[in-house]
């Protein structure tokens, strides 16, 4: 059985709409975490970790994301909020 036969067009549309809401909510939480911050520091990383785990991102994936961000901050010496958004999108 393929996914196409499992979902009717309406069910697929409902699923897509639900996933879009989840995506917006997830990125809204991240935006709130970094709002008013000029750079990514330990506090931001801790808060981001909390958002990721509470959003049902696995602990393993969360740690990979946080480790990547920590490496980038160490390498570049400065990572602003805009850079954080770009890193998270990749």
Kindly report the CATH number assigned to the domain that includes residue 38: 1.20.120.140
With 60 as the cut, is the pLDDT of residue 1 above it?
no
Instruction: For 62-83, write each residue's pLDDT tens digit.
Output: 999 899 888 888 887 767 777 7
pLDDT score at 25? 83
pLDDT score at 64? 93
Q: How many CB atoms lie within 10 A of CB 84?
A: 22
Q: Report yes or no on whether pTM surpasses 0.85.
A: no
**Overall domain count for the chain:** 1
Q: Which residues span the domain enclosing 72? A: 3-89
């Amino acid at each position: 059985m393929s996914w196409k036969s499992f979902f009717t067009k309406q069910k697929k549309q409902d699923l897509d709409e639900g996933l879009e809401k989840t995506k917006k909510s997830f990125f809204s939480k991240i935006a709130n975490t970094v709002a008013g911050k000029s750079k990514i520091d330990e506090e931001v990383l801790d808060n981001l970790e909390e958002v990721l785990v509470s959003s049902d991102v696995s602990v393993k994936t969360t740690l990979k994301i946080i480790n990547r961000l920590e490496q980038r901050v160490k390498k570049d010496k400065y990572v602003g909020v805009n850079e954080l958004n770009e890193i998270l999108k990749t």
